[in-house]
Amino acid sequence: MRLRTRLSWAFGGLAVAVLGLSAALTLWAEDRYLVRKDREENLLLLSRFAQGCGEALRLKSDAGLVAYVLSASEEPGRVFAGFFPPNGTAVIHSDPSLRGEAIIPPASVRKLMAKGSSEVPKPDLHTGNPLQILLQKVTAEGRERGVAALGFDPAHLRARRLTALSNNLRRIGAVSLAALAASVLLAFYLAFLVTRSVEELSRGARALASGDLRHRIPVRGADEVGDLAREFNAMAERLEQAERSREDFLSSMTHELRSPTASIAGYSDMLLSGEGGPLEPKQEEWAEAIKRSAKRLGAMINNLLDVAKLEAGLLEFAPAEVPLADAAADAADSLLPLAREKGVSIRVPPDEGLSAWADPDSVAQVFTNLLGNALKFTPQGGEIVVEVLAGAESRGEVLARVCDSGPGIADEALAKLFTRFYQAPGTREKTPGKGTGLGLYLSRRLIEAQGGRIWAENRRPAGAILSFSLPAAQKKRAA
C-alpha cells in the first residue's frame, strides 16, 4: 500500500474517531444536562406547591389546599401530590382512596421537616412501580405545619429525556456527517501535501540513479521538507558538476592519448614491415603484441570519445540502409585473428535482404562490441552464432542476435549489463586487462539514439544472447 493511501486512511480514521468520540461526549453531556434540568424543574414545582399549601393553611382554606393538590398532580409524569401534617396522615391527597390514611410515620415526618427538603425513591402503593418522591416542609404563620410531597414517574422522565436526545441526535448526526465529509476531504488533502514532496524526492532519486543529473525538484516552503528539497538540489548540482568535470577530463585525456597510441601502432607496423631491418622471431612476436595492445587501447579511447560525444549530444548520425548480415560479417572479419587465436568459430548468416535504417558506422561498432564481448566469455573450441531476423510487423523492425556458448550471465547482472562502466562479477578474473565496461553501454546508447532496443538473456543449456532491434529500412523508406 502506498504512503499516500496509508496516510489518507490514517487521517480519515483519526477524523472518524474524533468525530465519533465528540458525538458520544456531546450526547452524554446533553443527557446529564437534561437530568439536571428535570431535577431543577421538579424542585421548583415542589417549592411552588409547598408555598401554595402554606398559603392555603394560613388562610384556613381547605378548598384552596385541595385545589393546590389536585392542580399539582395533573401534569404529565406526576403520579400524585399530597400534604402530610406531622402525624403522617394524608390530609389532602390526589388519590381520594388514600385521604385520611396514615402513610408516613410521624418520626419520618419530623426528620423530613428538620431537613427542609428530601428525595426518596419509593414504590407506588397500588402498582408497585418505582416512584421518585420529592418532599419539602410547609410553613404557615411561622410554624412548621407538615410536608408537601410530589411523586414522579421515573420512566416518564426518562422517556422525555430520550425524546429530547433523539431530536438532538438527528441534529448532531447531520452536523457530524457534514464534518466527516469535510474531514475526509481534508485528510486526503493533508496526505497529498505530505506525500507530494516525498514522491518528488523519490522521482528525483530515481532520475539521479538513472543518470539524469540535471533533474531538480521544486522547493515549497521554508519548513523541513523544503530544506530537504534544497539539499537534494544542491547535491544534484554537485553531482552534475563532478560528472561534467569527469567528462571533460576523459575527453581531454582521450584526445591526448590518441596521438601517441596511433604513433605506437604506426611504428609497430613499420617494424613488422621490415623497414628498420629484419626482426628476430622473438622480436617479431613482441612487435605483434605491441600492435595488438595499441589497437585495443585505441578502441578503448574511441569508446571513451564516443561516449563523451553521445552524452554531450554532439555525435551525429547519417542514417542509411544497412544490410545487417553484411555488417555482422564485416565485424566478424575484423575479429577473426582473435577468434582463431582463441580457437572460437564465428558463424554469420547469409544476407536475406533484412536491412535496418541506421547509421552504418554505429551498426558496425555495435556488432564489433557485441562480438568482442562474446569472444571474451566463449571458451576455446566454442562457437558464436549471429542471427538476423524479421521483427514484429507492427513494430516495423529487424532484429540481430549474438549467441555465444560461454557460461551465461548471472540473473542479477542482466539488468545492469548495459550500464556505464559495469562489468559482471568475476569479469576481471576471467579476462584480465580486457575491458573498461564501456562497450555495451556505448552500444545501448547508439541503438537507443536511433529508435532501437537492446537487451540480454541467457541461452539454454549454456551461453548468453545479446540482441538489438532497429527500424526496418522498408518502413523508413515508406515513411
- The helix/strand count (H/E) of the chain reads as 13, 12
Last residue of a domain, one of 139, 158, 177: 158
pLDDT per residue of the chain (479 residues) written in tens, 0 to 9: 566 677 777 777 777 788 788 878 888 888 888 888 888 888 888 888 888 888 888 888 777 777 767 776 677 777 888 888 998 888 888 888 888 888 888 888 888 888 888 888 888 777 788 888 888 898 888 888 899 888 888 888 888 888 887 887 777 778 877 877 887 787 777 777 777 777 888 888 888 877 777 888 888 777 777 888 888 889 888 888 887 787 777 667 766 777 788 788 888 888 888 777 888 888 888 888 888 788 777 777 777 777 777 776 667 888 999 999 999 999 999 889 889 988 999 999 888 889 999 999 999 999 999 999 899 889 999 999 999 998 765 578 899 999 999 888 888 888 888 887 777 665 544 554 455 677 888 899 899 989 999 999 998 888 899 999 999 986 555 45
- For residues 294 and 417, membership in a common domain is answered with no
Find out whether the peptide bond into 85 is cis, omega within 30 degrees of 0: no
Give yes or no: residues 298 and 343 share one domain. no
Helices (H), 383-438: 411-414, 427-430
Q: In the chain, what are the helix, strand and coil shares in percent, each to the nearest 5?
A: 60, 15, 25
348 shares its domain with 293: no
Q: Is residue 173 part of a domain?
A: no
Domain count for the chain: 3
What are the start-end ranges of the H helices in 210-317?
A: 224-273, 281-312
Q: Are 164 and 175 in contact (CB under 8 A)?
A: no
DSSP 8-state secondary structure symbol assigned to residue 275: T
- Determine the Cα–Cα distance for residues 127 and 184; give it in Å rounded to an integer: 54
Q: Are residues 118 and 243 in the same domain?
A: no
Note whether 42 and 69 are same-domain residues: yes
- Residue 80 domain boundaries: 3-158
Separation between Cα atoms, residue 296 and residue 434, nearest integer Å: 8
Q: Are 15 and 187 in contact (CB under 8 A)?
A: yes
> In terms of DSSP bridges, do strands 383-390 and 345-347 run parallel, antiparallel, or are they unpaired?
parallel
In a domain, 470, yes or no: yes
* Angle between helix 439-449 and 281-312 (nearest 10): 40
CATH number at residue 348: 3.30.565.10
Q: Give the end of a domain, one of 310, 343, 369.
A: 310
- Amino acid present at 418: F
Tell me: do 301 and 331 sit in the same domain: no
In the chain, the amino acid numbered 34 is L
In a domain, 447, yes or no: yes
C-alpha 244/C-alpha 80 separation (Å) is 100
Burial of 426 (0-12, 13-18, 19+ CB in 10 A): exposed
Residue ending a domain, among 250, 283, 310, is 310
pLDDT at position 425, please?
62
Cα dihedral 54→57→63→64 (10° resolution)? -30
Give SS3 for 337. helix
Residue 70 lies in a domain: yes
* Contact predicate 152/132, CB 8 Å: yes
